[in-house]
Amino acid sequence: MTHVERPLFEGKTCPDRISSDGKRMNVRMPLIIAMILGGAVWAGLTPHGWTVDAPSGQTDSGPDQKSDFASSVFSNAIKKAQNKCVKIYGGALAREHGYATGLLVSPDGLILTAQGIYLAGDKLKIVLPDGSGHQAEIVRIQDDLLLGLLKIEAKTPNYFHIGKEIKVRQGDWVLAMGNPFKVADGTEPLSVTLGIVSMRVEMDAKRKRQDIPYNGEALILDCITSNPGAPGGALLTTDGELAGMLGKIAESKSTNTRLNYAVPSDLIRSFLDQKPDGDTETNAEPTNRGEPWIGLRLFTMSGKRAPAYIDRIVSGSPAEKAGLKKDDLILSVDTQTVRNVSEYQKLAKTLQPGQESLFTVKRKQTIVRLKLTVQKKQDVKND
Amino acid sequence: MQHSRLKLNSTAPDLHCSAGVSNSKQQTANSGYLCIFGFGITLAVTLSTFVASTLNLSANEISPEEMIQVKAAEAARIKAIEKVYGSVVAIYPKSRQGGGSGVIYDEEGFALTNNHVVRPVGEEGLGGIADGKLYKLTLIGTDPGGDVALVRLHSKKAGKNKGLFPNSRLGNSNQVRVGQWCMAMGNPFTLAQDQRPTVTLGIVSGIKRYQKGQGNIGVYGNCIQLDTSINPGNSGGPLFNLQGEVIGINGRGSFEERGRVNVGLGYAISMEQVKNFLPDLRAAKICMHGTLDAVFGDRNGQVVCEEINLDSTIAKRGMALGDRLVAFDGHQIYSANQYASLVSTLPAKWPVQVVYEHEGQQKSLWMRLRPLPYGTGAAPPKPRRGGRPSPKIKGKPGEIRDAKLNRAECGRIFRRWTRFMAGSDGLSDPKVFRCKEEVLGSDRKKMASRETWQATDGRFRVKIEQAEAGPKAGTQWGWDGSVYWRSEPGVEPIAKKDLEAFSNTDVARNASIAAFLGLRPLKDAFKEVVLEGGDKSQNVRADRVRVVDAQGNRMLFWFSLFDENGNFQSRLLKVAGEKDGQEAGPMWTYADYRKVAGVQVAHSRRLVKGLNEHTQMEIRVTSCEALESISEALFKLEKAE
């Protein structure tokens, strides 16, 4: 179809949409094209007629692409992502389902998924898009965002390139790809559902033990993804890029309703970058230097919205070396303002070991600026 | 399938499955059906629309021109919905307890729905459409195995639309792509008091999905998975593409954890499967699905026969345990699930090609699928405690449940055939065509050329002009309406009258075709006309009609269901004699129809053999013209000079 080759709109781009290869693009474009072409087709405006009863003897590859451009906007995104998602099978317990979805995030078999009972068993089986089965090891887990990083001994040339930038915003269309209810088996492609991002919000639902133990920013979705098997699946932009990972099922025990959410891709990037020490085989990139260690604890008794007063300084820690003191009120770190405990904690996680950060604190009636060199968390344990 | 099948691991017959073998061994999560019989609950549901979300975009990111286009697209969608809105039916039992949905595909009121919707409705129910009226609804045929049923709405009086119903076009589900938009319509939670359907929009989440049934009942093979919201009451309703074509019949959803409400996974029976069963449904049958009488499993990347009925056609033709299945019905087989999914969409007696590997040798065979027994599952469901029992639906699996309905459908096929051949009015007077033809052998070499005169009332005359093989040049034969004659140079001419003449298959065939054209009344022409069900000819789906004419000739006729654009069209595909329920005698296929003087003339006729219709001989029309006038003498035996 001729529409494929030429863009329908010129010059309308959003400055905050920069793709990983630096090209400016507008993520709404496919949506609009989809809607318009959908309409054009109904209105009989497309140059090619619709072949309705294809000649028999049609192969499994399906109909030719050109017949359905309106849908191919999504179809192409889906096709792009299908060979980067895996099926995960592990142990099950009572009502907890022993299967999930995972995302390939490196060429050497690293797989990202959500935490769940399937990670607890002895055996963890990964089924790649080509149908081959592999045993997986857990590399590490992250309890705030409920992430798990797995590794299989196989080359995985198709994987998601995850950037630091924020991929989707409120109101954007997203496609959720996963294996709810184990509908897909072996080489069969995963299920895809369409929805929009309702909002990006700090999720702090760890009020009781039963509630969602997620602690961080999440994308709330207008799309049913809280189904068994879907966690660990891909949240895609309409271009087929990774916007997030579908989160663990979150159900309110009191209302019996579920929350559909995803871990934003930029937070996933940070998690992946925090490579633990001891991994000498891979030549560590400058950013991949383990989890940061600052060595201070805030006064949290008044809750997460309380001002960020330092409650305790660990001796020998970067915080002590920098000269931070108990009862200092942290005002900012580098250029970022710190309004409360929650904001500091979020910020602290993003600091890179080896990096020098400028801490601005209020000590009694004076403002003090201190330079702090962040260390690796592992260093402490080794001491 | 009977008891003699073998399991690979044990030689003892497996008694647990004596009721019948299933085509599948697949283990996937089961999904629930979407009807709401037996539930007196009506839920108040707020339906959020995608439309609202789509327009919830900040104004600074969409230019006014883009907005106009978006709104135009929305308007087009609304228009597409309006076009098909009236064809969606809300189906209720007479008691008005519970209900499901359906879709009318034919102006005479024929509508598709689910078997599990008509089960509690029985043979008579009510169907409501968007005009707000409830119409009487009767059951035509049903397919318990594939969960499809055919019902008909009856309009009491010829209203402003002359009693014709709004209808939707049946689309092609082979062209459905993952990610494409799709709309579901129906009556979720029997919400609509005014019978106007609910519309929901979403995308296709998966294709070629398999959802196992209860035994051999309600199996969804090669079905469409959708994220479009469907809920109890949507059962039997249509899944549309954005052009308003029906691509599936919604029937199930994944209801595992949170009660019977939409969780984003719904399943629709593919329109391709529905079309495979359409002839059987229209024949007023309780349809049966086909089976190879063998079960296959995945082993080391190969699809291997794990169970086989030793009495089955395929075992007798050479397949054994451990043989590898290579291809089935034109599809390369790469997994046991794929095969199970494929075979579950085909009716019993469907002709298929099976390619398999036996002891390292690849073999190919053509066979008709055998009926897959339903066991006890085909009985109506037991009523819930306190509920009323389901009404009885007469008829046994595989049988025509109502001969009258079947005969009426035959009449409809012949009317369509007449319309195709000569326009909606048919022919008032017979026409004669003079054609130059050439005869090609199975090696495509020219055997003879001939001149023919064919009248649309069945009379004909053939004259061999030049011959390399077969009858000598100068040989002639014909039928003048009562006498069949043949003259050959140097041989005494033969002439046979009436009954004797009809024993010649050419005569019988031509006379019958003429009858379909409306030139002879059907009642006079045929003692018996039966739509046997679905079959395939020339690689397209066909209605297989059995005819016994006034002279006692038994013949089979194959008519197409659709033209190449997917519109209903009955054109003659094949003719054969019939004996003991099978094709017998010479079998001719008709193709390459071209209009000559307002009448369709098949420009290619092939003498074929076997289920794969292997060509033995072809008669090609090289030129054809209609004669101005008919001389009676033309078809009579020339007096020897």
CA distance A220 to chain B (A): 14
pLDDT attached to residue B417: 87
> What is the amino acid identity at position A332?
S
Structure confidence at residue B488 as a pLDDT band (50, 70, 90): confident
Q: For residue range B92-124, what is the model confidence (pLDDT) as tens digits? A: 999 888 899 999 999 999 999 999 999 999 999
Task: Choose the mutation target among B46, B77, B169, B203 for the interface with A, i.e. most A CBs under 10 Å.
Answer: B203
Chain-chain contact of B263 with A187 (C-beta, under 8 angstroms): no
Query: Residue A4, CB half-sphere, CA atoms under 13 Å: how many?
Result: 10
At B46, list the tokens: 């707020």
> Which structure tokens are listed for B444?
């495509």
Which burial class, exposed, middle or buried, applies to B511 when counting CB atoms under 10 A from its CB (0-12, 13-18, 19+)?
buried
- Whether chain B has a CB inside 8 Å of the CB on A56: the answer is yes
Cβ-based contacts of B180 with chain A (< 8 Å): 68, 70-71, 74-75
Cβ separation B69–A227 shorter than 8 A: no
Q: pLDDT by residue (tens digit) across B248-262? A: 999 999 877 667 778
Tokens of A25: 């693009």
- The pLDDT assigned to A16 comes to 33
Which pLDDT score, from 0 to 100, does residue B47 have? 31
* Pair of tokens at residue B242: 């954005």
User: With an 8 Å Cβ cutoff, is B206 touching chain A?
Assistant: yes
Tell if the CB–CB gap between B539 and A57 is shorter than 8 Å: yes
Of A42, A75, A225, the CB nearest to B76: A42
pLDDT digit string, tens, across residues B451-467: 988 888 788 888 999 98
Residue A288 has pLDDT above 50, yes or no: no
Task: Point out the least confidently predicted range of A51-60, B392-401, B456-465, B604-613.
Answer: A51-60
Q: Tell me if A180 and B26 make a contact (CB, 8 A cut-off).
A: no
Residues from chain A contacting residue B179 (CB–CB below 8 Å): 71-75, 77-78, 175, 192
**Residue B80, pLDDT above cutoff 50:** yes
Mutate to test the interface with A, among B180, B338, B339 (most CBs of A within 10 A): B180
In A, minimum Cα distance to B262 occurs at A224
A12 interfacial to chain B (CB closer than 8 Å): yes
Q: What is the pLDDT of residue A38?
A: 41
Q: Does B142 touch chain A (CB under 8 A)?
A: no
| Tokens encoding A9 | 């709109």
Q: Which of B68, B71, B42 minimizes the C-alpha distance to B54?
A: B71
Average pLDDT of chain A is 76
B26 chain-A contacts, CB cut-off 8 A: 185
pLDDT at B391: 78
* Amino acid identity at B32: G
Residue to substitute from B178, B278, B564, interface A, most A β-carbons within 10 A: B178
Task: Give the pLDDT confidence of A126-155 residue by residue, as tens digits.
Answer: 999 998 999 999 999 888 899 999 999 999
How far apart are the C-alpha atoms of A296 and A375, rounded to whole Å? 12
Interface test with A, best of B205, B209, B240, B563 (most A CBs within 10 A): B205
* Structural contact between residues B150 and B140, judged by C-beta atoms closer than 8 angstroms: yes
What single DSSP character describes residue B561?
A: S
Rounded to whole angstroms, the Cα distance separating B635 from B641 reads: 17
Q: Confirm or reject contact between B56 and chain A (CB < 8 A).
A: yes
Q: What are phi and psi of B411, to 5 degrees?
A: -60, -40
Structure tokens at B603: 């420009």
Asked if the C-beta of B29 comes within 8 angstroms of chain A's C-beta atoms, the answer is yes
Q: What SS3 state is found at B565?
A: coil
Q: Is A363 on the interface with B (CB under 8 A)?
A: no
Q: A345 — contact with chain B (CB < 8 Å)?
A: no
Residues 170-189 of B with CB under 8 A from A: 171-172, 174-175, 177-181
DSSP for A150-193 reads: EEESS---------SS----TT-EEEEEE-GGG---TTPPPEEE
Q: What is the pLDDT of residues A187-225, one digit of tens each?
A: 899 999 999 999 998 876 555 545 677 888 999 999 999
B203 CB within 8 Å of a chain A CB: yes
Q: Pairing relation of β-strands A173-178 and A147-152?
A: unpaired
Secondary structure of residue B127 in the 3-state scheme: strand
Position A287 scores a pLDDT of 40
Identify the weakest region by mean pLDDT among A1-10, B349-358, B392-401, B402-411.
Answer: A1-10
Cβ–Cβ under 8 Å, residues B297 and B303: yes
Interchain pair B264, A63: CB under 8 A:
no
Helix or strand holding residue B68 (H, E): helix B64-85
pTM value? 0.78
Count A/B contacts: CB-CB distance under 8 Å: 194
Best A27, A29, A42 residue to mutate vs chain B (most B CBs within 10 Å): A42
- A187 vs B: CB within 8 A: yes
A168 near B CB under 8 A: no
Distance from CA of B201 to the nearest CA of A (A): 10
Nearest CA in chain A to B538: A56
List, as ranges, residues 227-266 from A with C-beta within 8 Å of B. 227-228, 256, 258
The predicted-structure confidence for B183-197, as pLDDT tens digits, reads as follows 999 999 888 888 999
B 558-617 near A (Cβ less than 8 A): 562-566
Chain A residues in contact with B66 (beta carbon < 8 A): 9, 12, 32
Chain B, window 532-551: residues with a beta carbon less than 8 angstroms from a chain A beta carbon? 539-540
Best mutation target among B183, B263, B342, B569 (most A Cβ atoms within 10 Å) is B263
Q: Alpha-carbon distance B322 to B310, whole Å?
A: 14
In this complex, the residue of A41, A62, A182 whose CB is nearest that of residue B29 is A182
Which residue is closest to B539 within chain A, CA to CA? A56
Contact B179/A52, CB-based, under 8 Å?
A: no
Q: Which two tokens stand for residue B553?
A: 């000739």
CA distance B320 to B310: 9
What is the pLDDT at residue A66? 36
- A179 near B CB under 8 A: no
Can you spell out the DSSP letters for B317-371?
TT--TTPEEEEETTEE---HHHHHHHHTTSBTT-EEEEEEEETTEEEEEEEEPEE
Encode B459-477: b = buried (16+ Cβ within 10 Å), e = exposed: bbbbebeebeeebeeebbb
B77 touches chain A (CB under 8 A): yes
> pLDDT tens for residues B543-555?
999 988 777 888 8
Contact A227 B264 (CB under 8 A): yes
Give B520-578 pLDDT, tens digit per residue.
Answer: 556 667 888 999 999 999 999 999 999 887 778 888 999 999 998 889 999 999 988 88
Q: What is d(CA A32, CA A9) in angstroms, rounded to the nearest whole number?
A: 10
| Nearest CB partner across the interface for B79, out of A42, A55, A181 | A42
Find the residue in A nearest to B263 (Cα): A224
Give the closest-approach CA distance of A238 to chain B in angstroms: 10
Residues from chain A contacting residue B178 (CB–CB below 8 Å): 75, 78, 189, 192
Beta-sheet pairing, B540-549 with B554-560: antiparallel
Contact B70 A36 (CB under 8 A): yes
Q: Which of A243-247, A379-383, B408-412 has the highest mean pLDDT?
A: A243-247
Q: Which of A252-261, B232-241, B321-330, B619-628 has the lowest mean pLDDT?
A: A252-261
> Which of B57, B175, B241, B271 best tests the A interface by mutation, with the highest count of A CBs <10 A?
B175
What is the ipTM, given to two decimal places? Answer: 0.77
Write out chain A residues lying below 8 Å of B207, CB-based.
62
Q: For residue A180, give the nearest of B57, B254, B258 by CB distance.
A: B254
